A and B are shown apart, each in its own frame.
Chain A
Amino acid sequence: MPAKEASADDRIRQEKVKDIFIVLGNAVSAFRLYPSENPTVRNFISDLFERLSEYLDEYGELEVGIEEQAFTLEGRTILQDPNPVRSLPFFFFKDGMKTLEFHRGLQKSELDGFLEVIREVSQLPPEEGDIVNAMWELDFPNVRHVAPDDFLETKIGLARRVLRPELDVSSLSQGRIELAPEDLEEIRKSVLTLEKSKAGEGAVADPTFLEDIDKTLAKTSDREMVEIEALLAANRQLSQDEEYLSLILEIIYLEDRPEQFPAIADILEQYHQDALQKREFRRAAKLLRALSEIKELYATKNKLKSDLIESVISLVTRQSQLVDLREALDPNSISDSKGLFDYLLFFGSRSTGLVADIYEHATSQEYRRKALEILKEIGKTDIHKLMALVQESRPELSQEIIRLLSENADVRILNFLANIVAYKNPQVKLAAIQALGRIQDEAANKVLLGFLADANEEVRLGALDNMKKVADRQVLGRIIEAIKDKDFAKKSGREKKALFGVLGRSDSEEACSFLAEILGKVPFLPNPKHTELCLYSIGALEKMELASSREVLKLGAKRRHRKIRSACLAAIKTKSEIAVTYTGRTPR
């Protein structure tokens, strides 16, 4: 329809609308480039809102027509934009919008929402974005649009004729309908009843029928309304991801066509990837757990299906998943740590590297504890994987691994612990030493010997203290040699004491003889070093349970050296007290 000649008022109005749409275009451009809090964006929106509000206050509503390259007002072009890439008219036009309306009462939040939806849609691929869809769903009260259904005709039925029945309307008025006798008879009876009722002679219809209607079509009760509201609420609170997984698993459970499994595997893989990308490990773990269950279920019933499910599990838990996860995961920002660790359990020993990384880099004690739990589990089936984690570069983890390995005092780890002698980190060595101490095996004592040459005194001390009940002559011989060595004097008091302590704990006659020899030697001149040795020997003898140790002490108690003599007496007394404690009798 041709536009009529514009009056002066019309021209003013058109100018206002044009300005509004120029500002709208600027706002949209800014919105597409910057975040919504950006000052430039906010300024454009404020300006636009002000102009629109002013216009709507004056005119009540603003309705513009949308053409392929232009906005129009009452048939007149007010703004043209031929560029199809950024053109705002085309953006609306391509999805079938014919008019865009703003109404009095427009709120700023609505305008924000409108611009936001334009931004979101314009960021989607053309075949996915649909501004009409988006606006319809958001249903702004004061920003309306008209998009006639004809648009659907451009999308549907392109390759074929739109289905439509042929109808001869005139046939509806031609001919007669002859009712069957049985129907006529029933009609006759009903009409009779009705006439009687009109005349006040009876009920209109069967009372049971009316009662049923009453009951069935009665107003919805409060209880029923509450039930409906509850159904709606529950539906709205469904976890999309959980439900989706639940459905997929049911499909797997029911599906018996082997050729469908590759497609199902792809879907599960996508689901799995999505869960990992969103760091929703609980979901991923749930998937694997359920698949394992279904696999077990079919293991005897349908081996082929069980194998197919196993192949799905293998696809989903392939090694490269761990590699990717390892690269992408920040151990200090895991929101679903329980889920993560549950998930990693499914990978078994293949996850040791990632778990080790988590332990190393996580600051949360909770995460570290959980990581160790997993490693412990892994260690139960693959001890070598754990051993491989013990490295110089990971001192903290290495200590923990060693501790884990030693918890079961498994002699298999002896060779492994022996290698730690060569490590530089003293803490790791001490962990190994403690582990050896827990094993309480002669072989462990031999390995501990290796630490006696360590440069670090704490390491040496640790090794000595962890040599329990030494009986091996080679080990004892080494200890005795160390005491006899000229460098013994240079050792600290603690270390000297520790060396003698080993002899004391050995409870061996050979050790006892050696100690007796020291105690029995009386130097010609006072010799502090010798006195020191005697005192250490006395300490060791005190620890011994051998009867001969008491004898040696008795001999020592006769020494003229007061210190030695007192020490021996004290040692004897201690031994007696211990004996009474043990036997309840005072020893002779």
Chain B
Amino acid sequence: MNPPIEAPSQPAQLKALHQLAVEMVVRLNVILKSARIYASNNILFQHQVATFFELIQKGLNEAGKAAFTMRAGTLFFNNIRLKYGFANYHFFKFVQEEFRKAQLGGLRFDKEVTEKDLQILMTVLAKGDHEAGQPFEVLASEAAGQGLKHIHLEKLAPSDLAPKPEKSSVKIFFLGLTHLEEAFTGKSRDEKIRLGTTRRLMQSIFNSISDNESFVQGLTNIKNFHEYTLNHSMNVCILSIALGRRLGLDRNELVDLGISAFFHDFGKLDTPKEILEKPGKLDDQERRIIEKHPFQGAGKLIQSIDLKNLPLHAIHVAMEHHVKEDFTGYPRYFKKQSINLFSKIVKIADFFDAITTKRVYRTSHFTRDEALTLMLAQSGKEFHPVLLREFVKMMGVYPVGTLVALDTGELGLVVETNPEKVYLLRPRVKLITDTAGNKRDGATVDLSAVDAGDQHYSRSIVKVLDPQKYGINVADYFLARAV
């Protein structure tokens, strides 16, 4: 039986260990990526391992033990929960993702651990087969086979092993739509919306995004399902939470942000449908009517939801999501001279989803990458520049759901972006046709993969295509993963 690891009791000791652990996570992030590019005898790789080894030694000396564990999507070091801020979000996200894919629940380092052990571990982790049915078993077997002695691997707890996280995410998405419909249409004047269920829903969305952000972002390619406003609100909710998480909002804030985004267009309940869905341009009076939906939505929220449970931000967002960064837009305030942070976040998500959705009144729409370019041109005027930049970085050069033509003649859908600067143009792509254009349920390929023979990239993107032009419903490919 392993002796217990005592969490340090002194605050200073705790802080120092936490800092050390964060440094280790950052280092781990670098090593794993290096291990994917370089061979194990590469000097750079070895240098990284040596640095990590020093950190582990330090941890062992100071605390007597060194162990990483992952529980419910959270990383712990020696039972200290590791918290990440905006600055190191990427590193944590990457490492947690790696753990999750490998079904790795823990790494425990013995006092006798060597650099060789670390090299074996990193190589095995980096090259692990995540598509395998039992990735952890494969990993453990490989590690044992290579002689890993002083680092013990533990499998993720059964509760952390979602049978198919995509299935759960899709279920949550449509439960969200249904819940919105209930809120928008099903309530009588006297019956208040109970936010307890909405909060649970937001927690589930948060958990989904934590588990598989790329897939959940992919679900925002579902457009115009059942009722535009409902589908749009759900997409805005997801994109807002994803951006908020990236910015460093804590759990409670993210739930509030999600609720705010969820109800941002509540005011459209009072906007006549014929105006909302008018095919042509709106006249002045119709425009005036539609421009009332923000403050009418805010007022409606206050009346429909128990005030003590209603996040204040939800009122802000309903009111302000069409106010621009330069304070133009609508509505024009009487006295208020600031725009709430959540309003700025939702505004970005709202605009993005709206212009990438085909509508009867719009002669053209934008692909996701075109939308980002358009938004960047409005940075500072329409959108907060720093927040917009983070959103664009989150979405990537080729956002999830982008239809791309590859140099091989195949068509693919981007399913995961690559945040590494050197691989910005090389996301992971699901192949949806063969080289001759025949539709197929192809593999998911990593465009950063290099051909072993000629050392060139196996596949490269040569053009972004408009899926609507070819009758491709991008959302179907994501929904199919949940079947």
Chain A positions near chain B (C-beta within 8 angstroms): 56-58, 60, 63, 96, 99, 101, 103-105, 107, 127-128, 130, 132-133, 136-137, 139, 141-142, 144, 146, 149, 151-153, 155-157, 159-160, 162-165, 167, 169, 171-180, 183, 186-187, 190-191, 194, 198, 204-205, 213, 216-220, 224-225, 227-229, 231-232, 234-236, 238, 240, 243-244, 246-251, 253-255, 260, 263-264, 267, 270, 290, 294, 297
User: How far apart are the CA atoms of A349 and B290 in the complex, in Å?
Assistant: 45
Please indicate the chain B residues that have their CB under 8 angstroms from the CB of A227 in the complex: 386
Assess the B341–A232 pair: CB atoms within 8 A: yes
Give 9 nearest A-B pairs by CB, closest first.
Answer: A105-B79, A190-B462, A253-B334, A141-B81, A105-B7, A235-B341, A254-B295, A155-B197, A157-B178
Task: Spot the interface stretch: B28-36, B123-131, B274-282, B298-306.
Answer: B298-306
Assess the B4–A172 pair: CB atoms within 8 A: no
Assess the A152–B319 pair: CB atoms within 8 A: no
| Closest Cβ neighbor of B384 among chain A residues | A231
| Closest Cβ neighbor of A154 among chain B residues | B197
CB distance from A296 to the nearest CB of B (A): 12
Out of B178, B316, B460, name the residue touching A160 (CB < 8 Å).
B178
Out of A152, A194, A290, name the residue touching B460 (CB < 8 Å).
A194
Contact with A along B457-475 (1 / 0, CB 8 A): 0001011010001101000
| Closest Cβ neighbor of B292 among chain A residues | A254
User: How far apart are the CA atoms of A256 and B425 in the complex, in Å?
Assistant: 51
User: How far apart are the CA atoms of A450 and B397 in the complex, in Å?
Assistant: 97
CB distance from B72 to the nearest CB of A (A): 6
**Which of B247, B340, B386 has the largest count of A CB atoms less than 10 A from its CB?**
B386
Assess the A163–B226 pair: CB atoms within 8 A: yes
Assess the A179–B175 pair: CB atoms within 8 A: no
Known contacts A104-B79, A127-B194, A128-B309; can you find 15 more A-B pairs with CB under 8 A?
A: A103-B71, A104-B5, A130-B199, A137-B255, A149-B204, A165-B222, A173-B441, A186-B463, A190-B463, A205-B425, A234-B341, A243-B316, A246-B335, A246-B336, A248-B302
User: How far apart are the CA atoms of A231 and B253 in the complex, in Å?
Assistant: 13
Please indicate the chain A residues that have their CB under 8 angstroms from the CB of B22 in the complex: none
Assess the B248–A228 pair: CB atoms within 8 A: yes
Assess the B335–A141 pair: CB atoms within 8 A: no
| Closest Cβ neighbor of B2 among chain A residues | A60
Q: Does B251 contact A (CB under 8 A)?
A: yes
User: How far apart are the CA atoms of A239 and B239 in the complex, in Å?
Assistant: 27
Please indicate the chain A residues that have their CB under 8 angstroms from the CB of B87 in the complex: 220, 225
Chain B positions near chain A (C-beta within 8 angstroms): 1-2, 4-7, 71-72, 74, 76, 78-81, 86-87, 159, 168, 171-172, 174-175, 177-179, 181-182, 186, 194, 196-197, 199-201, 203-204, 222, 225-226, 247-249, 251-253, 255, 292, 295-296, 298-299, 302-303, 307, 309, 312, 315-316, 319, 331, 333-336, 340-342, 376, 386-387, 389-390, 392-393, 396-397, 405, 407, 411, 421, 424-425, 432-433, 436-441, 454, 456, 460, 462-463, 465, 469-470, 472, 476-477, 479-480, 483
User: How far apart are the CA atoms of A310 and B300 in the complex, in Å?
Assistant: 22
User: How far apart are the CA atoms of A144 and B207 in the complex, in Å?
Assistant: 14
CB distance from B439 to the nearest CB of A (A): 5
Please indicate the chain A residues that have their CB under 8 angstroms from the CB of B460 in the complex: 194, 204
User: How far apart are the CA atoms of A329 and B79 in the complex, in Å?
Assistant: 51
Out of A96, A179, A234, name the residue touching B465 (CB < 8 Å).
A179
CB distance from B278 to the nearest CB of A (A): 22
Assess the B405–A183 pair: CB atoms within 8 A: yes
- If the complex has contacts A127-B196, A162-B178, A165-B479, are A232 and B249 also in contact, measured as CB distance less than 8 A? yes
Assess the A213–B424 pair: CB atoms within 8 A: yes
| Closest Cβ neighbor of A246 among chain B residues | B336
Assess the A152–B480 pair: CB atoms within 8 A: no
- If the complex has contacts A176-B438, A270-B307, are A247 and B411 also in contact, measured as CB distance less than 8 A? no
| Closest Cβ neighbor of B475 among chain A residues | A165
| Closest Cβ neighbor of A133 among chain B residues | B199
User: How far apart are the CA atoms of A251 and B333 in the complex, in Å?
Assistant: 9
| Closest Cβ neighbor of B313 among chain A residues | A235
- If the complex has contacts A152-B200, A213-B424, are A176 and B439 also in contact, measured as CB distance less than 8 A? yes
User: How far apart are the CA atoms of A175 and B434 in the complex, in Å?
Assistant: 11
Assess the B79–A254 pair: CB atoms within 8 A: no
User: How far apart are the CA atoms of A232 and B245 in the complex, in Å?
Assistant: 12
Assess the B201–A174 pair: CB atoms within 8 A: no
| Closest Cβ neighbor of B208 among chain A residues | A149
Please indicate the chain B residues that have their CB under 8 angstroms from the CB of A152 in the complex: 172, 175, 197, 200-201, 204
- If the complex has contacts A152-B200, A255-B295, A267-B303, are A165 and B225 also in contact, measured as CB distance less than 8 A? yes
Please indicate the chain B residues that have their CB under 8 angstroms from the CB of A290 in the complex: 335
Please indicate the chain A residues that have their CB under 8 angstroms from the CB of B307 in the complex: 267, 270
User: How far apart are the CA atoms of A151 and B200 in the complex, in Å?
Assistant: 9
- If the complex has contacts A137-B252, A149-B171, A163-B177, are A251 and B298 also in contact, measured as CB distance less than 8 A? yes
Assess the B462–A149 pair: CB atoms within 8 A: no
User: How far apart are the CA atoms of A160 and B396 in the complex, in Å?
Assistant: 38
